[in-house]
């Protein structure tokens, strides 16, 4: 049972990591206007992306811990 939960946590970590990285990339836009580059960032989207990345790291650590534990 621990192995199944560990695998599910690792899969969830990969999904959350992908969503977090994608969210960071989409949280800022830049436009070049008359030779100047103007950048706008969405703070809420960036915060959500960092939360997803953090949860992904926690899920990865938990999954590795469950898969790497001693077998009894």
**Residue-level pLDDT at 71:** 59
Mean pLDDT of the chain: 89
How far is the CA of 13 from the CAs of 24, 25, 30, in angstroms?
16, 18, 30
**Residue-level pLDDT at 42:** 81
Residues of the chain with pLDDT under 70: 70-72
pTM of the predicted model as reported, rounded to 2 decimal places: 0.77
Non-local (6+) Cβ contacts of 53 within 8 A are 16, 17, 20, 21, 24
**Measured distance CA(47)–CA(34) in Å, rounded:** 31
**Residue-level pLDDT at 28:** 81
**Measured distance CA(48)–CA(14) in Å, rounded:** 16
**Residue-level pLDDT at 14:** 96
């Amino acid at each position: 049972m621990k192995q199944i939960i560990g695998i599910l946590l690792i899969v969830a970590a990969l999904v959350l990591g992908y969503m977090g990285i994608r969210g960071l990339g989409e949280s800022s836009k830049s436009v070049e206007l008359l030779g100047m580059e103007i950048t706008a960032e969405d703070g809420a989207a960036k915060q959500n992306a960092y939360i997803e990345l953090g949860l992904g790291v926690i899920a990865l650590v938990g999954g590795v811990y469950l898969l790497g534990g001693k077998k009894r």
